[in-house]
Structure 1
């Protein structure tokens, strides 16, 4: 078997090759969207997150997560129970495919949620985002606290729910990959007509619910408005200024490929 190829139980007809495409896809394993690197069979239009391209035999070792120190999460092709009866404890969305499941406590995690980075670099200046199981401050987008896992800046002035990121993706990319033509090599309209924007990424309930700018303004100019007015040494204001970039970082991580941001893919797809 060549380097960068896998033989996977979900698609025994062909080997899947590791590719990096700047287009979103819907994973045929977990059924969630992704971008950037994926294992792909171009002949049958099959895509898997790298996090989903794991074998069942022999099974991978149980995943241990610091948020659930007593749990042992086992990789499964489907969660136990009836379809639609289980949800991810990280983002709150239904589990519709591959999953990490703890048999003892019944918790479930999407593969990409289970492997979310615990620290993200939010654009330099020493500002980092840290993953927390619960929000200690209002989410920058929805204005609420408790909902799902949350990325929060070290200065605690910026917070974004993983669930809110998933909501943005569902609202913007809900149709991605839903009409794949397996077996015939057909491509979805996504690959023919380009990538839809991620709407709502710059929506903010932060700092008193400040309204988003008009569509004529770019997200970069919006989040940079305070740069000319900020006082030196104000780390809180710095956190607010990088909020737009921070959202892009979190979005790329939730999509399963934090490195996608390096190519500027996520930033170019965000619409106000």
Structure 2
């Protein structure tokens, strides 16, 4: 459900307004990267994913049928916690199962079980036996896999690609959120290239013919766009096109 304007417990000073952005942002709730739909305080440069702005009090997930996940503003206890979907650290908002101890980032918890743009269908799996196109390893985190079973991408690997590309943007000295309020000078630098899988795939398929390699790269690149869009919290065709343009720069 989408509202034009919302109050939020994490930012009581001002209401947050819904907006759509093609520039990547860092969510102040879960501390993860986002793009597309968000709730924003323009006064304080405070951003939330849709899933963090309007969370569900409790959720269930098809991968953990015996679990009930509760939304929390911060990780419970004093030990470091990681997301069971992407294996990345949890430092902000999360869904936590008290009985099992499982944790999920809000966007990971809401990842679509299927991504479909009319040409490529990708299904979310908890574990797959095939190697990931990005890292070449099996198992690891949740994965999106194509219907033809040729394209497999770990959710963790997609996040690593984003971190590799944008680490300096979010942790560099010029980003506005280091100063608290108002500075948006870092936005232009956010328009950076998301690393492409082209080189990885060409190496992965070096024994194939040139034509097959090119087609594989094109299809996997399209798949990657949609997986990145989903991980960023807005798995739409429009956002996938924006991600594709960033990848091609």
Query: Shorter-chain TM-score: which interval?
Result: 0.7 to 0.9
Per the alignment, residue 170 of structure 1 pairs with 163
1 CA distance for matches of 2:85 and 2:190? 30
2 CA distance for matches of 1:204 and 1:263? 20
Which one of 56, 77, 94 corresponds to residue 89 of structure 2? 94
1 CA distance for matches of 2:103 and 2:69? 8
Per the alignment, residue 195 of structure 2 pairs with 199
1 CA distance for matches of 2:9 and 2:48? 12
Note the C-alpha offset of 1:183.
5.2
Deviations 1:206-259 (A, max 9, x none): 8x7236xxxxxxxxxxxxx73xx79xxxxxx97765111001110111011112
Note the C-alpha offset of 1:61.
3.7
Which one of 78, 83, 91 corresponds to residue 82 of structure 1? 78
Larger radius of gyration: 1
Which is richer in helix? 2
2 CA distance for matches of 1:184 and 1:144? 42
Query: Does the 8 A contact of 2:36 with 2:239 survive in 1?
Result: no
Query: Does the 8 A contact of 2:225 with 2:240 survive in 1?
Result: no
2 CA distance for matches of 1:43 and 1:256? 23
Deviations 1:89-137 (A, max 9, x none): 000000010000000000000000000010011x434x31000001221
Query: Does the 8 A contact of 1:138 with 1:159 survive in 2?
Result: yes
Query: Does the 8 A contact of 1:35 with 1:260 survive in 2?
Result: no
Q: CA 1:183–1:173 in structure 2 vs 1: closer, same or farther (change >3 Å)?
A: closer
- 1:114 and 2:109 are equivalent in the alignment: yes
Q: Secondary structure at the match of 2:165?
A: helix
Note the C-alpha offset of 1:182.
5.7
2 CA distance for matches of 1:63 and 1:188? 37
2 CA distance for matches of 1:149 and 1:117? 12
- Structure 2 residues not aligned, in runs of 5+: none
Per the alignment, residue 244 of structure 2 pairs with 267
- 1:186 and 2:180 are equivalent in the alignment: no
Per the alignment, residue 39 of structure 1 pairs with 39
TM-score, normalization by structure 1: 0.81
Q: Secondary structure at the match of 1:198?
A: coil
1 CA distance for matches of 2:52 and 2:7? 13
Which one of 120, 133, 137 corresponds to residue 144 of structure 1? 137
Q: CA RMSD in A?
A: 2.5
Deviations 1:123-172 (A, max 9, x none): 434x3100000122111111111110000011211100000001000100
TM-score, normalization by structure 2: 0.88
- Structure 1 residues not aligned, in runs of 5+: 212-224, 231-236
Query: Does the 8 A contact of 2:226 with 2:240 survive in 1?
Result: no
2 CA distance for matches of 1:40 and 1:260? 22
